[in-house]
Amino acid sequence: MCPNSYWQYFAWCHTFLPDGQKYYTVGLAAACWAIWLARNRATFEKKIIKTPFEIVFSMCSFLLYWTGLQEEEGAKELRSGAEMIRSSTMRMMEMCNAARVSIGGD
């Protein structure tokens, strides 16, 4: 279910987000930019990436920032999508933390 190429990404988006075609490229750009910045921080500033959630939250920040480039309705949709990703990520973090605690982690 994970895309392995640019075209598979668009097919994946079309499957799971059939009405959001105008945001596929914006989402990909936000994800790539967030990964690039995390890589730069790890490489040049020696800041270890502690969790992939950092990258997802960075991606959401870009999406929210870029809502200003959209028309009013598009901005609302993009903001809603970014908030949906953020809240889903928060729930995932809670589940991961609960699992870590239940197996005796820190």
The predicted-structure confidence for 52-90, as pLDDT tens digits, reads as follows 999 999 999 999 999 999 999 999 999 999 999 999 999
- Give a yes or no: residue 6 inside a domain: no
Q: How many domains does the chain have?
A: 1
Higher pLDDT, 105 or 67: 67
Q: Domain limits at 91?
A: 22-102
Integer CA distances (angstroms), 50 to 5, 38, 46, 59, 69, in order: 26, 10, 12, 16, 31
Name the pTM for this structure.
Answer: 0.84
> Is position 93 within any domain?
yes
Distance of CA 46 to the CA centre of its chain: 23
And the tokens for 26?
Answer: 């914006």
Residue 59 covered by a domain: yes
Q: Give the residue from 8, 10, 2, 20 showing the smallest Cα distance to 82.
A: 20
Residue 77 in domain: yes
Tell me: pLDDT of 106 over 70: no
Domain annotation covers residue 65: yes
To 10 degrees, the CA torsion angle through 56, 61, 65, 67?
50
Instruction: Give residue for tokens 């994800």.
Output: 31
Residue 15 lies in a domain: no
The verdict on residue 33 lying in a domain is yes
What is the predicted pLDDT for the residue at 102? 86
- Report how far residue 87's alpha carbon sits from residue 33's, in angstroms, rounded to the nearest whole number: 20
